[in-house]
Structure 1
């Protein structure tokens, strides 16, 4: 958060082991749908079951941090870092499955 305030980047990318934020845990629910864009108001309306485990303790925690940082950045993106080439494609501006987080 402190670095975003200092450098004011155009884009901040967070990586996880899922494509982004889903309506349910995609590892447990085959009907889970990827949410392409989310903001603080929408996040509050989503089910509190958004807890796919990752190193930061869950998707919900990661998105909450992203919302804090987005105020100092152009956009924050959550993308799957385990898919070969996915991050590079995103950085090249290609359309990839992900969730954009807006304040």
Structure 2
């Protein structure tokens, strides 16, 4: 298994999930997560990241909540059909993704 190959595959999976408004289930930091990804790109360190609304699964804190995931730490990711979950209030600017590749609210929904 190539470490460099996995983020590219995972990145594509999350990007396609945003485009299709699909849920993603995966493991992150050893926990099973059920997510709806909203924004994908890179952080200030140049790492591939996704801002996602975690609505179910395992968590160290209360759910639902926003998650900033480094895609290099994601494993066993797969898309899943199901209802789209939107995050709560957008009162603060997100700081997870500094170079945005795709934002569901800007790039996907504004085109419809």
Per the TM superposition, whether the score is higher than 0.5 is no
The structure showing larger relative contact order (alpha-carbon pairs under 8 Å, at least 6 residues apart) is 1
Q: TM-score, normalising length from structure 1? A: 0.23
Structure that is richer in strand per residue: 2
Higher helix proportion (structure 1 or 2):
1
* TM-score, normalised relative to structure 2: 0.22
